[in-house]
Amino acid sequence: MKPLPEKLSAQDVMDDVPVIPVIVLHDPAHAVPLARALVAGGIRMLEVTLRTPAALACIERIAKEVPEAVAGAGTIRSAADAQAAALAGARFGVSPGYTRTVSKACHDVGLPLLPGVATGSEIMMAQEDGFNRLKFFPALQAGGAPMLKAWQGPFGDVTFCPTGGIHAANAHEFLSLSNVACVGGSWIVPNESVQTGDWTRITQLASEAAALPR
């Protein structure tokens, strides 16, 4: 893996590998072995979603104990989320939608943000605020690869990370598009493997995902 700058940009996050794992953790004890398993498979950009009470503790453990991983916080929906994520050690943020409040909060705490969009109007609003690297969410429900193809014309200067409904069988359809840098997906971190501590399986899935062409 190439060295990363101390201060990341959204481009650094999206261009690192083809897949950013979308991680939901309920037990902080799983955080470190999971992060190590993903890094062993070649994936270091880790989006830990703020969907559980354990999420911030998990980010903190990864940030402190797995320095070769880059812990990020997903599901940032408020300024308070951004502040808490930064305090826990997150180095990037991902939001399911776009608001200027969240954008400003992430900027203020130094978190590069991948804001979520699902419509042309949301893309235009994000671009007005300087964002050209965006998360397309929920990807399948919002039009999938055909929608991204349609956006290549009017939004040719925007690069996307589609997330939502993407798995090993359809990831290539998105990654083959010229306006897609990477995809987000939870298939790399199946819950049953996390619960049983099958870190070898997660390393295998990460290795396969890291090798996907784009």
Q: Can 173 be counted among the known catalytic residues? A: no
136 neighbors 156 (Cβ within 8 angstroms): no
Tell me the residue length of the chain: 214
Per the residue annotation, which of 2, 6, 7, 47 is the catalytic one? 47
Measured CA to CA, the distance from residue 170 to residue 131 in angstroms comes to 27
Helix H or strand E segment including 135: strand 133-136
Helix H or strand E segment including 174: helix 171-175
Per the residue annotation, which of 135, 149, 192, 208 is the catalytic one? 135
Q: Can 47 be counted among the known catalytic residues? A: yes
User: For residue 164, what are the CA distances in angstroms to 44, 65, 117, 199?
Assistant: 20, 29, 12, 24
Catalytic residues: 47, 135
